[in-house]
Structure 1
Amino acid sequence: MRAGFNRLAHALLCLALAALVGFLSTRFGFRTDWSSAQNTSLAPQSVELLKRLDGPVEVVSYASDNASLRGAISSFVQRYQVHKSDIALRFVDPAADPAAMRELGVRIDGEIDLRHRERSERLQLLDEKTFSNALLRLSRTQERMVAFLAGDGERKADGSGNADLGQFTQLLLSQGVRCVPLILGNGARVPENTDLLVVANPRVPIAAGVVVEIVDWVERGGAVLWLTEPGENAGLDALASALSIRALPGLLVDGTGAALGLGDPSFVALSRYPDHPITHGLELTTLFPQAVPLAQLTAPRWQMQPLLRSSAQSWNETGAMPKAGESSATIRFDADSDEMRGPLDLAFALQRLSPRPDKREQRAVVIGDGDFLSNQFLANGGNRELGQRLFNWLLADDALIAVPDRGAPDRLITLSQTRLTVLSVGLLIVLPLLLAIGGIVLAWRRRRRR
């Protein structure tokens, strides 16, 4: 009886201990990552960012009612919620209101809208580096000032017309970037608190005094974004010379767009990009309607890198383009003219040491198209993403979190042909033969014992 009582008491104590452990696990907990690459937890840089981040964060995912997709997004966001409890995740089904999704510019299933302190940033790629860097940009309290040159028929920064940039500047405003029109003339200068000057497709020649001030702004170390168009005659030759850029004659046409259903060869679709911090990791297709190819001047005054490049099936068409409704089959490359075969560059990123004492580097970008950021084409493919990356780099917001690559280690075994042959013979012939011989010997010994 005493032994039975002891066993019963021992069992009850074990049950009580298990219940106590279960209760404590609901009050206290810990998490550890035993994976070889530590790829199920956040990098120390991201954890440190979350400790410094004040205020709640809302994550809105425009994901369809798909358990697998929503589960993957929830699992990813949960890594951040472990270190910051006031990160809230909310799902919105795009199929519930397609018109509202089109108005919001949602084009990818699972697209993320990250919101913090009345600012927001749209993410079309979900990984730790992208997510953490977006949080870092949203946490910055310093407001950036972007001046859009106005007064000469440029695209309006706050306009709602098809050719204007109102939708994109609203996106910048949600990220703490203030966009203002700037009219130069009568001796007016670019304000010194301007972080970036944008020259967006002037339709009429700019006054000589204004051109002098723009070039002087560049020489003083100011950042500039120049969006140009085919046949643009704005009198900005001095700016082109200061940026070591020249526009090639004609219009860029590319035959690869036919595979994407583009009937107009002057609509250039790009899915591959030269290696640059702006385009690094960009896997979305971008669309550039009627772009002008650019070339680099010899002995440039900048460190220049191609940013956008057409395919080998492209060239700069100098002849007359077919009118609307006419077939484009008549467009042919003419080797006897000024036309050049692709690949051709339609954008350059420039950088050099800044003459300003408060900045280490001066940056500029020249793009042979301004339509890709316009209200009419902003929602196409990765245009919005590319524009956002472009302004982040020009505003020096690329000094972000360097999340280390924590991919699984390479466990691939490389064998020579000789070793592979020996291994194959051993596994397919020698080993079965040894097993057969061993079986025969074992059977023979058993018979002798009998």
Structure 2
Amino acid sequence: MGDRLNNLFHLVLLVAVALLVGFLSTRYGFVHDISRAQRLSLGAESKALLESMKGPVEIVSYARPQGNLRKTIGDFIARYERVKPDLSLRFVDPDADPNAMREAGVQIDGEIELRFNGRSERLKELSEGALSGALLRLSRARERLVAFLEGEGERKPDGVANADFGQFGETLRQRGIRVLNLALSTTRRVPDNVDLLVIANPRVALPGPAALELVDYIERGGNLLWFIEPDENSGLDALAEALSIRVLPGVIVDGSGQAFGIQDPSFVAVNRYTGHPALAGFDLGTLFPQPVALAQLAPPRWDFKSLLQSSQQSWNETGHIPKAGEPAADVRYDGKDGEIAGPLDFGFAITRLSPRPGAREQRVAVIGDGDFLSNSYLGNGGNRELGTRLFDWLLADDALIAIPERSAEDRHLDLSETTLAILSFGFLLGLPILLAGSGLWIWRRRRRR
């Protein structure tokens, strides 16, 4: 009787402990990452970022309820929620109101929007580098001021015309960057509080005083982004000389575009980039309609780094400019009239020590195409992300450009055909024979007992 009571007591105690553990598991959680290189957990950079962010973060995912996409996103965001409890995730079905989603700019299933301190940013990639980088940009302590030059027919950062930068201007505003138009005809001078000045393809030559003010702005240590188009008569020769830049004649023609389905040879597609920090980890394809080639003046007064290059199948066509749909075979390199065989640079990042007090480095980017950020071409490949990376670098927000991804060590095995044959024979024939033989031996041994 005593043993029965003792067994019953232990059974009741075991059930009570199991129920208690089950109850506590609903109140408290414990997660331990046992993967190689801790690649299923957030890195130290992301954890430090989340701990520094004061205030709630809202993440909205426009993912359909069908399939496992919501679960995949939820499991990934849970890594961030464990570090920052006031980070929340909610899902919106893009099929519930397609018109609203189209107006909001939602393009793919699972697209993510991050909201923090009244600002927001969109992501189409689910990775720690992309998500933490976006959070870092939203946590920018000081609003950056970017001025777009206007008055001579430049592209407008708030314009809706095909050639304007209206859509990209909205992207900058969502990333906490203040965008304004600057007319030197009225201000006469670039304000000292401007963090970056953008010259976006003037259609007519700037007046002499305005052109001289731009050179003076550079000499004072100002940061600049200059977009150049073919046959552009902007009256900025003095600025080009101050930057040690020369624009080559003609338009870049690149025959490698046919491999990407591009029939117009004057449209340059790029999917390989230089090792510049602004493009670290960037591997998306970008498209540039009719870019112009750039070269350095010798000796340069700046430190030059190439940003964008055409392929070896390219040259600067100075004669016949190809039209859309024209076969590339009809356009030939003849080596005359200043035509130079590729690869050709059409994007430079140039730096020097800044003369401004408190600033370490002065940064300038010159791009031989302005169309890639226009309303017409912004949605092509990685054009938008390339633009945001350029602005982050020019604004000296280097930490915002990328957070490195961590991956497991390479555990791939390279086996010879002989080794594979031995393994195949062993698993298909050897192992079954061994198991059958051992079973027969055990059976006969027991029969003899």
Q: What is the deviation of 1:218?
A: 1.0
CA distance in 2, matches of 1:158, 1:279: 26
Q: What is the deviation of 1:410?
A: 3.9
Does residue 35 (structure 1) correspond to residue 66 (structure 2)? The answer is no
CA distance in 1, matches of 2:272, 2:106: 22
Does residue 192 (structure 1) correspond to residue 218 (structure 2)? The answer is no
SS in structure 2 of the partner of residue 346 of structure 1:
strand
Residue in structure 2 matched with residue 246 of structure 1 by the alignment:
246
Does residue 317 (structure 1) correspond to residue 321 (structure 2)? The answer is no
Amino acid at match of 1:390: L
Q: What is the deviation of 1:411?
A: 4.4
Residue in structure 2 matched with residue 343 of structure 1 by the alignment:
343
Residues 290-301 of structure 1: pairs in structure 2 closer than 5 A: 290-301=290-301
Moved more, 27-36 or 95-104: 95-104
Moved more, 33-42 or 214-223: 33-42
Residues 49-448 of structure 1: pairs in structure 2 closer than 5 A: 49-94=49-94, 101-185=101-185, 188-323=188-323, 329-400=329-400, 403=403, 406-411=406-411
Pair 1:122–1:31, CA change in 2 (3 A) = same
Q: What is the deviation of 1:201?
A: 0.2
CA distance in 2, matches of 1:401, 1:172: 14
Residue in structure 1 matched with residue 442 of structure 2 by the alignment:
none
Q: What is the deviation of 1:213?
A: 1.0
SS in structure 2 of the partner of residue 131 of structure 1:
helix
5+ long unaligned stretches in structure 2 = 428-444
Does residue 19 (structure 1) correspond to residue 16 (structure 2)? The answer is no
CA distance in 2, matches of 1:269, 1:101: 29
Q: What is the deviation of 1:255?
A: 1.9
Pair 1:63–1:27, CA change in 2 (3 A) = closer
Amino acid at match of 1:310: S
Q: Structure 2-normalised TM-score?
A: 0.88
Amino acid at match of 1:29: G
Moved more, 67-76 or 268-277: 67-76
Moved more, 141-150 or 30-39: 30-39
Q: What is the deviation of 1:159?
A: 1.3
CA distance in 2, matches of 1:385, 1:404: 16
SS in structure 1 of the partner of residue 225 of structure 2:
strand
Aligned residues between the structures: 445
Pair 1:261–1:307, CA change in 2 (3 A) = same
Q: What is the deviation of 1:89?
A: 2.2
Q: Retained in 1: the 8 A contact 2:111–2:122? A: yes
1:279-331, CA deviations, whole angstroms, 9 ceiling, x for partnerless residues? 22222221111111111222222221111111122111111324567666422
Pair 1:186–1:377, CA change in 2 (3 A) = closer
CA distance in 1, matches of 2:257, 2:121: 30
SS in structure 2 of the partner of residue 399 of structure 1:
helix
1:361-417, CA deviations, whole angstroms, 9 ceiling, x for partnerless residues? 11110001111111111112111111111111111112349856532234467899x
Q: What is the deviation of 1:344?
A: 1.1
Q: Retained in 1: the 8 A contact 2:120–2:138? A: yes
Over the matched positions of the two proteins, sequence identity in percent amounts to: 60
Amino acid at match of 2:238: A
CA distance in 2, matches of 1:109, 1:260: 24
Pair 1:77–1:274, CA change in 2 (3 A) = same
CA distance in 1, matches of 2:97, 2:345: 40
Q: What is the deviation of 1:251?
A: 0.6
CA distance in 1, matches of 2:115, 2:124: 14
CA distance in 1, matches of 2:104, 2:288: 21
Q: Retained in 1: the 8 A contact 2:163–2:375? A: yes
Q: What is the deviation of 1:129?
A: 2.4
Amino acid at match of 2:348: F
CA distance in 2, matches of 1:365, 1:350: 6
Q: Retained in 2: the 8 A contact 1:132–1:401? A: no
1:392-444, CA deviations, whole angstroms, 9 ceiling, x for partnerless residues? 1111112349856532234467899xx99xx9xxx9xxxxxxxxxxxxxxxxx
Pair 1:263–1:412, CA change in 2 (3 A) = closer
Moved more, 200-209 or 293-302: 293-302
Q: Retained in 2: the 8 A contact 1:107–1:381? A: no
CA distance in 2, matches of 1:118, 1:350: 34
Moved more, 186-195 or 103-112: 103-112
SS in structure 2 of the partner of residue 15 of structure 1:
helix
CA distance in 2, matches of 1:223, 1:198: 9
Pair 1:255–1:243, CA change in 2 (3 A) = same
SS in structure 1 of the partner of residue 369 of structure 2:
coil
Q: What is the deviation of 1:249?
A: 0.8
Amino acid at match of 1:320: H
Q: What is the deviation of 1:337?
A: 3.2
CA distance in 2, matches of 1:388, 1:199: 16
Amino acid at match of 1:221: G
Pair 1:306–1:109, CA change in 2 (3 A) = farther
Amino acid at match of 2:150: A
Q: Retained in 2: the 8 A contact 1:45–1:401? A: no
SS in structure 1 of the partner of residue 38 of structure 2:
coil
CA distance in 2, matches of 1:413, 1:323: 51
Q: Retained in 2: the 8 A contact 1:129–1:401? A: no
Pair 1:242–1:279, CA change in 2 (3 A) = same
SS in structure 2 of the partner of residue 197 of structure 1:
strand
Amino acid at match of 1:300: P
* RMSD of Structure 2 on Structure 1 (CA): 3.5
1:123-167, CA deviations, whole angstroms, 9 ceiling, x for partnerless residues? 233221221121122122311111111111111122111111111
Q: Structure 1-normalised TM-score?
A: 0.87
Pair 1:28–1:102, CA change in 2 (3 A) = closer
Amino acid at match of 1:39: R
Q: Retained in 1: the 8 A contact 2:215–2:238? A: yes
